[in-house]
Amino acid sequence: MKHTLFLALLALTFSCSKEIPPNIIFILTDDQGYGDLGIYGATDIETPNLDQLASSGAYFTSYYATQPVCSASRASIMTGCYPDRVGIHNAFGPGAKVGINPEETTLAELLKAKGYTTGIFGKWHLGDAPKFQPRKHGFDEYYGILYSNDMWPKHPQQGTVFNFPDIELYENETPLKVLEDQTFLTRALTDKAIDFIQRHKDTPFFVYLPHPQPHVPLYAAEEFQGTQRRGLYGDVIREIDDSVGRIWETLKKEGLEENTLVIFTSDNGPWLSYGGHSGSPGIFREGKGTNWEGGHRVPGIAYFPKRIAPNTRIDAPAMGIDWLPTIAEFTGSGLPEKKIDGASLVPLLTGKTTRAPHENFFFYYRTNELHAVRHKNWKLYVPHTYRSLNGRKGTNDGFPVPYEMNKIETAALFDLESDPSEKNDVAQENPLIVAKISKIADSVRAVLGDRLTGIKGNEVRPVGRIED
């Protein structure tokens, strides 16, 4: 059971309130890098709508996807928790016997209890079994795919590494068709989101629009093909930018712009082994699948004219765990009864503070491996292995280049303020800082565990499972 009494009380609170809570639109891209928008430094991709959205609201220069991989990152957005707290690791494949636990309270469930109508249009990736699908976790409507768009028979490593079944496009719990060509998908998802907005414009709504792109394989509608200097990847980003523009225009047309919070971000950094078919981490080191800055520092934009002033640049770090409590505060929703890790970004977004919501940020990957801790402007990497191209370039044909495995043998320390590209390890010059952050790492291990040190963690909750 999901705290029925608690949710009913929230619904009653909303019914007695005269203030109309804001609409929420959360747009999530897949594998988009920090350096893929104009406002974040891109010069070879045109992103006029996203650049304007950022300059008309707030944009983060140090926003982190919680983990550098799909399912785990998305779990943090839905629950406000580090994925390791809710038992979610890596990326779920088709037919996975695990998914988001029905005992967890999702962002959609909190908003639904507040009187919101909720819809998701895009990639779910928190379990494809019936009990894990979106409408079992607070969404009224669903249109999209249940896992990554490359988990299909056309994968370049199908038959050698993988054996994926057909990927299907769903409406609610019904598969509509097998996906053979994805060129229509970005527009179709946007159309569905716009239709949802127009149908529910008179009541508070939550639109979750997790685009499957620009995750490989790349697909752009014909009108966007060949339009960007970055090649097909740039074309894909330009179409996503157009999608944002269409949604924004719909809000203006329907008179909803002032009272709608629009959030835009990515689930992790670029998948560098795909070369020209991957995004750019900008000045940051490495990409998806690592806890170096390029793996999880991504665009983060929030637009809400009623509460967020234009040209609000936020340099303080924030993370995917923070969106649920942020949206809860903006909407007057309660928080889940179970413990969460996130903190509200409302003080930062509204200019009441310049302080980060957390003094420490923790970076896990794989199955419960603690790799790094950020403490203020310091980032400490504990011993672990990570993948890298080690200076090699990926190809431009949509086929991945194999990674090599590197190992950090002893703790490495970087000053992100003076060295955001993480080129200079200053651990030897700062032993007291290394010792201090190492103790902080021990404190989180006691809570969330760490497979690398054999610590299980005393606050880890179980992932959802289906019977064999």
pLDDT > 70 fraction of the chain, expressed in percent and rounded: 96
Looking at the structure, do residues 103 and 230 belong to the same domain, yes or no?
Answer: yes
Task: Please state the rounded mean pLDDT for residues 36-53.
Answer: 98
* Interval 343-402: pLDDT, tens: 999 999 999 999 999 999 999 999 999 999 999 999 999 999 999 999 998 887 888 999
Residue where a domain stops, chosen among 358, 381, 405? 358
Looking at the structure, do residues 237 and 325 belong to the same domain, yes or no?
Answer: yes
Q: At CA 52, angle to CA 51 and CA 57, rounded to 5?
A: 105
**What is the CATH number for 375?**
3.30.1120
Looking at the structure, do residues 413 and 345 belong to the same domain, yes or no?
Answer: no
Q: Exposure of 375 by Cβ count < 10 A (0-12 exposed, 13-18 middle, 19+ buried)?
A: middle
Residue where a domain stops, chosen among 358, 386, 414? 358
Q: At CA 245, angle to CA 241 and CA 248, rounded to 5?
A: 135
Query: Is the pLDDT score of 13 beyond 70?
Result: no
Joined tokens for residue 359: 């003094």
Is residue 6 situated within a structural domain?
no
* Interval 434-455: pLDDT, tens: 999 999 999 999 999 999 999 9
Is residue 339 situated within a structural domain?
yes
Looking at the structure, do residues 317 and 413 belong to the same domain, yes or no?
Answer: no
70 classed as catalytic: yes
**What is the CATH number for 121?**
3.40.720.10
pLDDT score of 15: 43
Looking at the structure, do residues 114 and 238 belong to the same domain, yes or no?
Answer: yes
Q: Which of 70, 81, 215, 384 is catalytic?
A: 70
Angle between helices 70-79 and 323-331 in degrees, nearest 10? 30
Looking at the structure, do residues 392 and 354 belong to the same domain, yes or no?
Answer: no
Q: Which of 81, 89, 125, 200 is catalytic?
A: 125
Query: Is the pLDDT score of 18 beyond 70?
Result: no
125 classed as catalytic: yes
Mean pLDDT of the chain, nearest integer? 95
CA distance 208 to 221: 22
CA distance 123 to 146: 6
Is residue 254 situated within a structural domain?
yes
Is residue 327 situated within a structural domain?
yes
CA distance 278 to 273: 8
Residue where a domain stops, chosen among 338, 358, 378? 358
pLDDT > 90 fraction of the chain, expressed in percent and rounded: 94
Query: Is the pLDDT score of 16 beyond 50?
Result: no
Listed residue (179, 104, 110, 116) closest to 149, CA to CA:
179
**In the chain, how many domains are there?**
2
* Interval 152-179: pLDDT, tens: 999 999 999 999 999 999 999 999 999 9
Q: List the helix and strand counts (H, then E) for the chain.
A: 10, 20
4-13, 18-27, 45-54: segment of lowest average pLDDT: 4-13
* Interval 52-95: pLDDT, tens: 999 999 999 999 999 999 999 999 999 999 999 999 999 999 99
* Structural domain for 383, as ranges: 361-459
Helix (H) or strand (E) segment spanning residue 210: strand 205-210
